[in-house]
Amino acid sequence: MSEIFDFLKKTESERRRKQRIQEPELLLNMSPEALALPTLDEVDKSPEAPEPLPPEIEVCQSDKFDLTGASPQLRSVLHSLTLVGEQFRLLRSRLEIMQKQTGIKTVLITSTAPGEGKTFTASCLAGIIAQEAGKRVLLIDADLRRPMSGRYFGLNGTGSTAGLSEVLRGKAEFSNVLLTSLNPEFSFLPSGPPSSNPSELLSSPKLEQTLKFAADHFDWVILDSPPALALSDTTIISPLCDTVILVVRSNSTPSKLILQAIDRIGRDHICGVVLNRKKDMHRSRYYYHYYYRRSNPKKD
């Protein structure tokens, strides 16, 4: 599996010693060729007793939605028998190990430039984590300039029009603007109405208060932010989060831009890099088809 990804090697002891990372680590590779099964199935529930749940947040019934209209790519990731879905589950496992070691909860997903897959990664990661029994997950669309997360869920502007921008302005309460997915169950905070001064809104103390409140009520808080190099927004949000994942596009993103983004965010604050659209996954597809066929003997 080493040719698909090179998981996090940075441990908590390395973080304390503040060792510099010589090159980005690869958390996950995704191939468009793996997006083959758009049907959404339920995953097996863990028999282990779940940890005590955080305090409940009441969500209006009218602000609930399902993923029947979600994009085929997102539904393929959430399918229990797709290779790309397994890559996200491995990413989830690594983050859970980090959470046990360091107590991280808030994870910022960003990229160097637009079009590298940060929103897709954030949306899929939230859905995959939510498939675990008892996990309370919140996805925040923190891109106040060009929000995209809702489109992967098939919302396209439907549901509540309020969101993060209204919370930061003090015009809406956090719990009143949350949307909830039903399959799997997770919460979604849209970006809200466009703002003429997004950087100023994000610089407000209200954002830090909101993230702390979210961390108290959810097991995981995933934030989809604007690209790191194009705007100042990410450098404003990232210090308020426990860690950052940088998404880069395979054979497309210049290494110079990757290093610039790492330097801007801070090497010690980045837990890893997601390599998106990597196509050299032949050996992994072999293992995938082997186990898939073994679990479906009628196809042999």
- Residues 142-159: pLDDT tens digits? 999 888 888 889 886 544
Indicate whether 153 belongs to any domain. yes
Number of domains present in the structure of the chain: 1
Indicate whether 51 belongs to any domain. no
Task: Considering only residues 277 and 126, tell me which one the structure prediction assigns the higher pLDDT.
Answer: 126
Q: Which helix (H) or strand (E) covers residue 295, if one does?
A: helix 282-295
Indicate whether 214 belongs to any domain. yes
What's the full length of the chain, in residues? 300
Collapsing DSSP states into helix, strand and coil, what is residue 101?
helix
Section 270-295 average pLDDT: 64
Non-local CB neighbours of 107 within 8 Å, separated by 6+ positions? 95, 125, 220, 221, 222, 223, 241, 242, 243, 244, 245, 271
Indicate whether 284 belongs to any domain. yes
Q: Give the residue numbers spanning the domain of 124.
A: 12-40+57-299
Q: How far apart are CA 114 and CA 198, in angstroms?
A: 17
Indicate whether 255 belongs to any domain. yes
Which token pair is 109? 């997903």
What distances in angstroms separate CA 126 from CA 19, 77, 171, 188, one per listed residue? Answer: 30, 11, 27, 9
Q: What is the pLDDT of residues 197-247, one digit of tens each?
A: 899 999 999 999 999 999 999 999 999 999 999 889 999 999 999 999 999
Please check the confidence at residue 166 and state whether its pLDDT lies above 50.
yes
Q: What is the pLDDT of residues 106-151, one digit of tens each?
A: 999 999 998 899 999 999 999 999 999 999 999 999 999 888 888 8
Give the pLDDT confidence score for residue 140 in this predicted structure: 97
Indicate whether 244 belongs to any domain. yes
Indicate whether 4 belongs to any domain. no
Indicate whether 208 belongs to any domain. yes
At 235, which CATH number?
A: 3.40.50.300
